Amino acid sequence: MFEAVLLTVITAATPLLIAAIGELVVERSGVLNLGVEGMMIMGAVVGFAVANQTGSGTLGVLAAIVAGMGMALIFGFLVLSLVTNQVATGLALTILGLGVSGMIGEAYIGVPGLRLPELYIPVLSELPLIGPVFFQQDAVVYLGFALVALVAFVLFRTRTGLILRAVGDNHGSAHALGYSVIKVRYLAVLFGGGCAGLAGAYMSLAYTPQWVENMTAGRGWIALALVVFASWLPFRVIAGAYLFGAVTVLTFHAQAQGIGVPSQLLSSLPYIATIAVLVLISANRRLTLVNTPACLGKPFVPDR
């Protein structure tokens, strides 16, 4: 029973986790991309279509990453090269993604998909309780955890991470030091797009292996909120995604048990929990300010 709940939580949290860690890198570079939902849904439809055509889940996942990056490239070109408004462009990207994905996906409505196979990690998967929950998952789940560790390492332990954070905190100084702000931001935006595409592929190839329009159903927006929730710290993204996933799943179990709490209240619990933790975290104002990228959402135009 406990094991079954944990398994469901992992599936619910993984797409949020992956999309959020990508957006975290984007925001650390000083760019606010509100188009996560649009990139995710494109990843979902392209991943599904390619997996369906080729019969290979791996190719589907790769294609989804490329699709997310393609969307991100459009966004990057608009906000970085043409210096359009980031909020408006991000919203437009979401609308574009929802529309185009519906068009691409029309042929795949009502077609059953293929599910990514589970990878059993030798020895570890034999462990009681922990084994089936953490070591008998599909590759994307492991990839999600690996991504978080990688991002945490690169951001805070490498020169690349230092440059990225410098660009996000003070693009003027970074530019004066000779770093190409625009290039760094392009790369960050592309990484974010790739992650969103991967998260989308997880939706259409593992979470609910099928294509239906709007299937991400707002998860891109939750991922955006999780980045703020995590106060731009990678490991907190895991905590946020799992808290959100766990509360969602537990409310269903509570209902199935037949406890007499109104379902509307239970449905709002994940959001209430997220807000409560957000308030607790932001009580430490200094820590929040230190981690907020100072140039977030500000356009940069090199003077020469």
Partner 1 sequence: MKNIMKATVAAVAFAAASSAASAADLKACFVYIGPVGDFGWTYQHDQGRLDVVEKFGDRVETAYLENVPEGPDSERAIERFARDGCNIIFTTSFGYMNPTLKVAKKYPDVMFEHATGYKTADNVATYNSKFHEGRYIIGQVAGKMSKTGTAGYIGSFPIPEVVSGINAFLLGAQSINPDFKVKVVWVNTWFDPGKEADAAKALIDQGADIITQHTDSTAPLQVAQERGVHGFGQASDQIAFAKDAQYTAIIDDWGPYYIERVQAALDGTWESAQTWHGLKEGHVAMAPYTNLPDDVIAMAKETEAKIVGGWEPFTGPLTKQDGTEAAADGVRLDDGAILGMNWYVKGVDDKLPQ
Binding residues for partner 1, rule: CB under 8 A, are 1, 4-5, 8, 11-12, 15, 37, 91, 94-95, 98-99, 102, 105-106, 109-112, 115, 203, 207-215, 217-219, 221, 224-225, 248-249, 252-253, 255-258, 260, 262-264, 267
Q: Which is nearer to partner 1, 24 or 182 (CB)?
A: 24
Tell me the one-letter amino acid at 13: A
Report the alpha-carbon distance of residue 32 to residue 168 in Å, rounded: 10
Query: What is the closest distance, in whole angstroms, from the C-beta atom of residue 266 to partner 1 in the complex?
Result: 8
Q: Which is nearer to partner 1, 181 or 215 (CB)?
A: 215
Q: Which is nearer to partner 1, 31 or 181 (CB)?
A: 31
Query: What is the closest distance, in whole angstroms, from the C-beta atom of residue 50 to partner 1 in the complex?
Result: 18
Query: How many Cα atoms within 13 Å fall on the side-chain side of residue 150?
Result: 12
Report the alpha-carbon distance of residue 170 to residue 217 in Å, rounded: 35
Report the alpha-carbon distance of residue 302 to residue 126 in Å, rounded: 56
Q: Which is nearer to partner 1, 86 or 248 (CB)?
A: 248
Rg (alpha carbons) of the chain, rounded to whole number: 19
Q: Which is nearer to partner 1, 37 or 169 (CB)?
A: 37
Q: Which is nearer to partner 1, 110 or 302 (CB)?
A: 110
Query: What is the closest distance, in whole angstroms, from the C-beta atom of residue 198 to partner 1 in the complex?
Result: 16
Q: Which is nearer to partner 1, 144 or 171 (CB)?
A: 144
Query: What is the closest distance, in whole angstroms, from the C-beta atom of residue 229 to partner 1 in the complex?
Result: 13
Q: Where are the alpha helices (DSSP H) in the chain?
A: 2-28, 36-54, 57-76, 86-104, 130-134, 139-157, 159-169, 171-176, 181-202, 219-229, 234-256, 263-282, 285-291
For 237, residues 6+ apart whose C-beta sits below 8 A from its C-beta are: 17, 20, 21, 24, 148, 226, 227, 230
Query: What is the closest distance, in whole angstroms, from the C-beta atom of residue 94 to partner 1 in the complex?
Result: 6
Strand partners, 118: 138
Strand partners, 112: 210
Query: How many Cα atoms within 13 Å fall on the side-chain side of residue 153?
Result: 6
Query: What is the closest distance, in whole angstroms, from the C-beta atom of residue 127 to partner 1 in the complex?
Result: 21
Query: What is the closest distance, in whole angstroms, from the C-beta atom of residue 42 to partner 1 in the complex?
Result: 15
Q: Would strands 136-138 and 118-120 be described as parallel, antiparallel, or unpaired?
A: antiparallel
